[in-house]
Structure 1
């Protein structure tokens, strides 16, 4: 059994050994240096949004280029950026699970809550086809390409694990780009809804192959049972939290702060209840919660509470996530280019998790 587990887990062990020596932050840096980068990212994001207003250059592309430039200056040259560089390195070495846990629930909730119900009803068939069979086809195609192309002697289970991880798309960046380019509402709804469902489906597929990599065997009946349990359980938890929180919102009168705080708190609690407590998909749970709010809870917000919630979540999503998600893979790429072959084995998995698949990522 030990020999069986060693082979599929080989890429992850090599990844840890290949990056552990380069993941430590500089001895001269302080935890407070991380705050400098947060302020810098906000200022750069504001400047890009202001200067590009009225142009056809997408805002998210400008943020991507800025993130690549900052990461390249800090990790790709011998010229350090001082305290700013120390802050960049602190954020680049942050635990990707922590980064996703902080940003992902709010981003998923805002994206699903902002969707229009009547548009979803018109496009639901296309969304389900793309997010269901489309993800499975993408997973097997990517897994086969990885198995046949990479010289690492991965098993099919490990290759399909990475294929499922890479099948997820980024709903935040895609939809923001469509809005910047003035795409039709129907197209935006299809891609946004498919992206959200795609993330949930890819997470479930990833969990399935992850269990297989760890040595757990599945027959077709067990696979169907696992997929149904993980997906339907997530939908049930999302609906339960949605109904309870909407009933609570009904007793709140003209207090926008409480409405926004309660909504965000419920999205985070639902995510961790599903992900850590019930061992089902937290992404599907928050997506279900947001869609339930979009369908049944819009009238529960009094005054400008709903609009304020949208603005707050968009602010969270706008700048730090883009720069953090870009600088982190930059640091890994330059470490790999400067390192040995051992580090190269884990690049796909590490960058995929570091960007949130992101977003998301996350």
Structure 2
């Protein structure tokens, strides 16, 4: 469990550094603007010499981008080779993504202290790449490869953990971080809303190592399906929660705002889910009433394109593309899969799994690289320690009370059935 905790600590650190760096940049910009205005008003403004910025030409950009891609591909090869070695040696306590994370950190540190500024800038974190390129394959594969029988059999329990557990986790993290920020240590001052937004980003879980251990030791399928299903849905819940809370930034918050936020969250989640189901059903009808099964290549392309269309359309109409793509994948597997040719069934299943595996490993490498390739880095060690402790406390507050309630309800239901 130690490597898992180290990986979690490193990922949390990367998120924290981004938040603190943004806050420091905003403060510096405000101070700079105030100083400039004062200087101008007193008539003592002086010209500030500017440093010329060298912009690489097309040939240099191609060379730098090739070096950046070479580094990323080399790290991916290392990650997958490590995965092979761990499977051969049957080592379940370490996941290949941990190796990718620390390898990315090492390469990022070398770029930070070395002369490769252009390569470093190309490997810096980009929201566009993360949300539009890396995240969709993982979400689609999660819905498409879902063990639907166990998932829907325990759907109520999964929903309780995904919604209530994620809410509790986000609130606990947000409140603890807010109380710590009131101490004004390390020059950090955050509002309660900002802390809740921050808590929503850390409320989702990624139990890859736990599920790998479950597969090895063949645990109860019900336990596996609950943890796996909750890990799928809580990603979508946390992202929708983040977007909902972000809409209140810069606004006055009243008691009615809480109910408005809850209503907005439920509306966005429900409409996004319906959009995904509609796209999946539309694809199913298209395959059923056409002869695309005679052309497996075209059929595979259309299935993948329709799935990705649901993601980008939902994002375009201010819904949640994550929720839409997840339920589109579930619908495709439940309905469209049986209208596909055998070749398309195999192609889509392995293609989605391969893309998801590549994206997942690349994300961990990307996080490791971004820890040192960002232009502005501000380290707040106490903030990191407090947040890690808050995450642990939030999981305790979310898992054990909900599990106790769910088990008590099920025991009461079983007792009533036994008496009847």
The TM-score bracket by the shorter chain reads 0.7 to 0.9
Unaligned runs of 5+ in 1: 1-8, 19-23, 350-362
2:243 matched to 1:233? no
Report which stretch shifted further, 139-148 or 319-328: 319-328
2:180 matched to 1:145? no
Q: Tell me the residue number matched to 1:160.
A: 196
1:258 Cα offset (Å)? 2.2
1:177 Cα offset (Å)? 5.9
Q: Tell me the residue number matched to 1:33.
A: 67
Would you say the 8 A contact 1:64–1:323 is kept in 2?
no
The structure 2 residue matched to 1:328, chosen from 353, 367, 371, is 367
Q: Given the two structures, how large is their TM-score scaled by the length of structure 2? A: 0.68
Q: SS of 2:228's equivalent?
A: helix
5 Å matches for 1:85-104?
89=120, 92-104=123-135
Would you say the 8 A contact 1:238–1:288 is kept in 2?
yes
Q: Distance in 2 between matches of 1:270 and 1:295?
A: 17
Change (3 A) 1:26 1:313: farther
1:329 Cα offset (Å)? 4.2
Q: Deviations over 1:153-195 (max 9, x none)?
A: 2111111010111112237676456445654433332122111
Report which stretch shifted further, 118-127 or 323-332: 323-332
Q: Given the two structures, how large is their TM-score scaled by the length of structure 1? A: 0.77
Aligned CA-pair RMSD: 3.8
Change (3 A) 1:86 1:179: farther
The structure 1 residue matched to 2:337, chosen from 279, 290, 298, is 298
2:351 matched to 1:317? no
Change (3 A) 1:172 1:206: same
Q: Tell me the residue number matched to 1:199.
A: 235
1:335 Cα offset (Å)? 6.3
2:77 matched to 1:48? no
Would you say the 8 A contact 2:108–2:371 is kept in 1?
no
Unaligned runs of 5+ in 2: 1-18, 29-52, 388-420
Q: Deviations over 1:41-83 (max 9, x none)?
A: 3422342233233322249723322431342244168875x99
Would you say the 8 A contact 2:240–2:268 is kept in 1?
yes
Would you say the 8 A contact 2:105–2:372 is kept in 1?
no
Q: Distance in 1 between matches of 2:309 and 2:369?
A: 32
Change (3 A) 1:60 1:312: farther
Would you say the 8 A contact 1:175–1:188 is kept in 2?
yes
Q: Distance in 2 between matches of 1:312 and 1:203?
A: 26
Q: Tell me the residue number matched to 2:140.
A: 109
Change (3 A) 1:142 1:192: same
Q: Distance in 1 between matches of 2:193 and 2:167?
A: 14
Would you say the 8 A contact 2:205–2:235 is kept in 1?
yes
Q: Distance in 1 between matches of 2:88 and 2:148?
A: 30
Q: Tell me the residue number matched to 2:39.
A: none
Would you say the 8 A contact 1:52–1:59 is kept in 2?
no
Change (3 A) 1:91 1:304: farther
Q: SS of 2:327's equivalent?
A: helix
Q: Distance in 2 between matches of 1:312 and 1:347?
A: 40
2:95 matched to 1:61? yes
Q: Distance in 1 between matches of 2:130 and 2:79?
A: 19
Q: SS of 2:65's equivalent?
A: coil
The structure 1 residue matched to 2:315, chosen from 275, 294, 297, is 275
